[in-house]
Amino acid sequence: MENKHEELWDKYWKGETTLEEENMLFSEVEADQQGGSLKDFFSGIQAIRSEKPIAVQLPLPKQKYPWQKLAAVLLVFLTVTACWWGYKEYEQQQQEMAYQQVVEAMGKIQLNLRKGTSHLESMEKIKYLNSGVNWYDNNKNN
């Protein structure tokens, strides 16, 4: 029993005991009348274990540089403004590019229409070739 008792104390000082083993050790110390200073030591430990922790509110640290928040807000504002302005410029460039493409397409259409109408003019001239026979027949009868 004494050997087991000492093994428990060794485990306790190494920090390897369970709560049940610690309670058993402390109850033995309280029951022991001759403990003296050891009894005082363990009664102090029991008092510490029974105390409830209190919440400590630490004060918030003061900011050394309050202008940093203002600088951060200003930086965010400038970034958003620059992005918005850049996007508007991009939109305008895209509209101008689309306009130029439409003008170029219309120019090609106009060129092809001119080519087509010039071919039609030569077809108009060919159309009168057949009418010459009728004209000759009409003049012959006169």
Please tell me the least confidently modeled range out of 8-17, 27-36, 77-86, 91-100: 27-36
Q: Residue 32: its pLDDT value, please?
A: 64
Contact 14, 6 (CB under 8 A): no
Contact 26, 42 (CB under 8 A): yes
C-alpha–C-alpha distance, residues 130 and 136, integer Å? 11
Q: Residue 110: its pLDDT value, please?
A: 92
- Quickly state the pLDDT bin for 122 (edges 50, 70, 90): low
Overall pTM > 0.85: no
- Mean pLDDT, the chain, as a whole number? 79
Q: Residue 97: pLDDT above 80?
A: yes
Q: Which stretches of 32-66 are DSSP H helices?
A: 37-50
Contact 29, 38 (CB under 8 A): yes
